[in-house]
Amino acid sequence: MSTHQLILKQRKELLAVLCGGGSAEPLDCVLDLLLAWEVLIWEDYLSIQVAEKALSYKVRQLLDVVYDKGEDACSLLLAAMNQVLPEEQKAGLCFGKECAEVGKNRPDTATLTLLADRPVLVRKLRDNIDGALNVLLTTGCFTIKDCDVVQLPVYTPSQQVRRLLDQVRFKGETAAKTLLQYLEQTETTRPNPEDKENHLSANCMRYQKKLQSSVAAQSHSLSTYGGTGHFSLDDIYTDGLLEVIDGSGETTMLGLEDVVGPVGTLNEDADTFLVSGEAGSGKSTLLQRLHLLWAREALLTNTFLLFPFSCRKLNAEHRELSLKELLFLHCCWPDRGQDEVFQFILDHPNLVLFTFDGLDEFKQGFTDEERHCCPTKQVPIPVLLFNLLQGTLMKGVMKVVTSRPQAVGPSLKHYLRKEVLLKGFSPGGIDCFVKKHHSDPAMARRVLESLQANTVLLSLCHIPVFCWIVTKCHQELLGGQDGIPQTITDVYLLVLQYFFQRKSSQPQGVLGKAWLEEHLDTVLKLGQLALEGLGASCYVFSGYELQRIGLTEQDVSMGFLIYCNDLSVTDCKRYEFLHITLQCFFAALYVVLNSKKNRSVIYRLFQPQYKQLSGLSQRCLGHCIDSSVEGVESRVTETLNLQITAQFVSGLLSQRHHNLLLDCCPTAVRERKAKQVVKSLSKGMQRHFKSIPRPVEGEKKSMHAMPSFVWLIKCIYEMQDSSIAQDTMAKLDVEHLKLTYCNIGPVECTALAYVLKYLRNPVGLQLDNNSVGDVGVEQLLPCLHICHSLYLRNNNISDEGIRKLLEKGMTCERFQKIALFNNNLTDACTQHFAWLLKSKQNFLSLRLGNNNITSQGVEQLAEGLSYNQSLQFLGFWGNKIGDRGAEALADALKNSTTLIWLSLVDNGVGSAGACALAKLISQSKTLEELWLNKNSISREGVECLIEALKMNSSVKEVWLRGNNLSPEEEEELSKQESRLTF
């Protein structure tokens, strides 16, 4: 078959693989190659990379452009895809015959060299963007604005490099030469990795191979799939959303390869990289992927030795160990030349990487009180671990640590090079995961359709562990007899049912209605183990402990407990729950179903932080008893686990599960426990409400939620009882509810909306700096009618989310303000705002800063603006509206009798735009502030503004810092008009 036909026939599949993970990186890499091979010319490239278009549009455009270029171009496109796509995505695709080498003469200009070497340059420059920009800036090839354009935080480092290259090309030959010279210099000063190998002895090489093969074997498959399927990590791994916040608070998305890269570095002197995320967000899996790729030499290629550790397993190490013993005993032992290998490690810290998974589960909280720097002296494990993290021991070795964010205290933060936030799956990630999980496309489609039909479930799937359960239990899900799952308790009950069903002796594995009662004995035993473990920070259990509780081999064979997957050689088997959240679920089942347990257990579970623990685990597990080790940070983790448990307890005691629990627990006991939960939740909320300070005169009564506020809301949601939500909210009387930096994702949005919709009085809901996303926005809709303002800055929201939000917003009389600074909005969202402004004549404030809106978008918005007679604040900071956009806005706003504040900072507005705005000034009777900093307005434009200001008395300030004016001009012009600020 000709390559022409191959492209046509496989169009759908090619589209799917290039868009599959939702990341533009595969397409960008293919484009790099096609530019380098001269298959595409620059104009083609521009016609494909249209900023505001969706990824699928761009891929289709690429396929069309190449198709039109004929057979050779098609075969090179297939070759490029073959080169770029990972093996697992290539299955089933046909790439045709290998095409001839693309051997071209070296280009004769620097600009052409940039194109020809583009794929290599993207790789090389990724870790050097700052350096390259610095050189381009100091040599005058770039302005600060050029640098800002390159470094927009919405771009990944690779995308930033591509923008840098595009900008250099645009600037011309001198800029291209400067960049190439800079690269040449950095090449010659960088150590050559070949040198490292020349000095490596055979023993070190042998040890590396041994370590690589053990790490590969250990990380090859996912433990959650251990007993129930045969997925390798390659088959199922799906990229999660990784973010880093730099020193100035800007967020950048990262790829896996950037976790230990320079982007987002906060402390150059530290060597510890933290990956933080909630339980189940995929931290361990990410680390496992990193291990596997290192072992295959596909990532971290400058790391010669990688030593993986699990903190929960280190808890069980009670011996004092030296560093050497820690490395060799817990990872793998060199067959020959142990001293030599160890010496090599000591001499080359820059070639070594340690990973510590689940620092939050390490029993002792981090402290830097005891210093230890001798690699051969034996010390307790916590001393060894903490000194490694601080860099007192083995300075220069990179460490990657994972933890839940709340468990990282200030003392550890001090030693972090940077913190990467893992935020679970994106909507595209969920799609990709489900398709990987179900090899049958029809089944995958059905599961995805059912998720689309139940957005509550879809929102849960943003957390990978829930996504795994939902996908795994698809049959129960699709054929659900007990209604569609709504809460995480519903989802975990599904998994329970699923595991019992697998082992069921009933015909066709169907479970009867009383399935829980049938397995009550196993559930209670597992529950006891789980609860005692949580109270003692114990997540790994010996066979002896299982025996003590009476767990039999048959109980274990159900699959909830798995063998610890460990590199170290130990003679006894150890077990852990499939996931920490499952341990919490069993603990909750025990609290609810065990009739012997003391009466106060529920009250203690719902105690405020740090008070829960005493007494919860009266009979600690054998190896867990260690009263000397307690630290605030480790107790935070226990609290977090008990909070998850409390959430499950709330869910299990909800009326919805009454029938299931009927024969497992006397009704009177169940009802008493449910009452206790309701009382505890109400008390917890009261505590929050009491903490609301009296409003300062002239300010709104506002509540800044404490972290446990969201937890209490989630517990109320689990109960699925609207009267509880209603009673609780009746007592909350605030005008502004601030939930910034609270890790609010789609799941939390569902719970928030469920409860907040019962607020008596309208509220401003501030959710800035969370991960609400489009799905979260949809979840918030039920409470939109009670929100007069919605603040969603920095929340990964795109045009689609806005469409749904505004559709509802238009019908909500009280909804008057929205702030969307720093999201993923493009011109496609402005038509919705135009409708909103047209139809809502009481809307007051629209802030759209730092998105990707151009003049086209503004022209669409102008339609609505010209009809609106209520808007007072309009913000466009950091978009690209240019002169055309400024003109359209000025024209649309000229009849406004309400506008007070307008910001067009950093929008590429020149003098033409300024003159248009001058007309607005001359007509407006209400405008008070106009912000035009960081544009390219020159003298001519400012003179227009001055003329207009002569006729205007309402304007108080016009900000013009950072425009195209000399200091002398600024001085002269400000003398002419004192309201101008330069």
Rounded CA-CA distance 60/58 in Å is: 5
Nearer to ligand ADP, 230 or 690 (CB): 230
Q: What length does the chain have?
A: 982
Q: Which residue in the block uniquely carries the two structure tokens 């839940």?
A: 404
Nearer to ligand ADP, 276 or 933 (CB): 276
Nearer to ligand ADP, 171 or 472 (CB): 472
CB of 403 to ligand ADP, least distance (A): 9
Rounded CA-CA distance 685/706 in Å is: 11
Structural contact between residues 84 and 29, judged by C-beta atoms closer than 8 angstroms: yes
Q: Which chain residues interact with ligand ADP by CB under 6 A?
A: 222, 224, 236-238, 240, 277, 279-285, 433, 464-465, 468, 579-580
Cβ neighbors of 167 (< 8 A, separation 6 or more) are 142, 146, 149, 150
Nearer to ligand ADP, 17 or 40 (CB): 17
Nearer to ligand ADP, 711 or 833 (CB): 711
Rounded CA-CA distance 878/483 in Å is: 47
DSSP structure class, residue 665: S
Q: Which residue in the block uniquely carries the two structure tokens 């299931």?
A: 660
CB of 258 to ligand ADP, least distance (A): 16
Question: Strands of 416-422's sheet, edge to edge?
Answer: 251-254, 242-245, 416-422, 272-276, 398-403, 352-357, 305-310
CB of 229 to ligand ADP, least distance (A): 10
CB of 280 to ligand ADP, least distance (A): 5
CB of 225 to ligand ADP, least distance (A): 7
Nearer to ligand ADP, 228 or 976 (CB): 228
| CA nearest neighbour of 218 among 144, 294, 282 | 294
CB of 309 to ligand ADP, least distance (A): 14
| CA nearest neighbour of 752 among 780, 792, 790 | 780
CB of 779 to ligand ADP, least distance (A): 21
Nearer to ligand ADP, 280 or 391 (CB): 280
Nearer to ligand ADP, 360 or 883 (CB): 360
Q: Which residues of 369-391 are buried (b: 16+ CB within 10 A; e: fewer)?
A: eeebeebeeebbbbbbbbbbbbb
796: left (phi over 0), alpha (psi -120 to 50) or beta: left
For CA atoms 340, 346, 350, 352, the dihedral sign is positive
Nearer to ligand ADP, 282 or 910 (CB): 282
| CA nearest neighbour of 791 among 850, 847, 732 | 847
Nearer to ligand ADP, 219 or 924 (CB): 219
CB of 81 to ligand ADP, least distance (A): 23
CB of 712 to ligand ADP, least distance (A): 22
Task: Catalogue the E-assigned strands of 721-822.
Answer: 736-738, 763-766, 787-791, 817-819
Nearer to ligand ADP, 238 or 315 (CB): 238
Structural contact between residues 539 and 361, judged by C-beta atoms closer than 8 angstroms: yes
CB of 144 to ligand ADP, least distance (A): 38
DSSP structure class, residue 275: E
CB of 216 to ligand ADP, least distance (A): 18
CB of 468 to ligand ADP, least distance (A): 4
The Cα-based distances of 966 to 930, 969, 972 in angstroms read: 21, 5, 10
CB of 7 to ligand ADP, least distance (A): 30
The Cα-based distances of 559 to 229, 233, 493, 652 in angstroms read: 12, 19, 15, 22
The Cα-based distances of 336 to 204, 206, 333, 554 in angstroms read: 9, 8, 9, 43
CB of 549 to ligand ADP, least distance (A): 24
Nearer to ligand ADP, 285 or 355 (CB): 285
Joined together, the tokens standing for residue 757 give 């919709």
Q: Which residue in the block uniquely carries the two structure tokens 């645009």?
A: 170
Nearer to ligand ADP, 235 or 891 (CB): 235
Nearer to ligand ADP, 238 or 933 (CB): 238
H or E element at residue 542: strand 541-542
CB of 580 to ligand ADP, least distance (A): 6
**Tally: H helices and E strands in the chain:** 48, 21
| CA nearest neighbour of 478 among 450, 445, 456, 440 | 450
Rounded CA-CA distance 912/841 in Å is: 30
For CA atoms 59, 63, 68, 73, the dihedral sign is positive
For residue 162, count CB atoms less than 10 angstroms from its CB and return exposed for 0-12, middle for 13-18, buried for 19 or more: buried
Which residue type sits at 681?
L
| CA nearest neighbour of 960 among 932, 936, 937, 940 | 932
Nearer to ligand ADP, 156 or 868 (CB): 156
Structural contact between residues 736 and 668, judged by C-beta atoms closer than 8 angstroms: no
Q: List the alpha helices (DSSP H) in 100-143.
A: 110-116, 118-126, 129-138
Nearer to ligand ADP, 475 or 811 (CB): 475
Which residue type sits at 805?
L
| CA nearest neighbour of 658 among 493, 502, 500 | 493
- Tell me the sheet residues that pair with 936: 910
CB of 422 to ligand ADP, least distance (A): 7
Position closest to ligand ADP via CB: 282
Nearer to ligand ADP, 285 or 486 (CB): 285
CB of 431 to ligand ADP, least distance (A): 13
CB of 471 to ligand ADP, least distance (A): 9
Nearer to ligand ADP, 277 or 746 (CB): 277
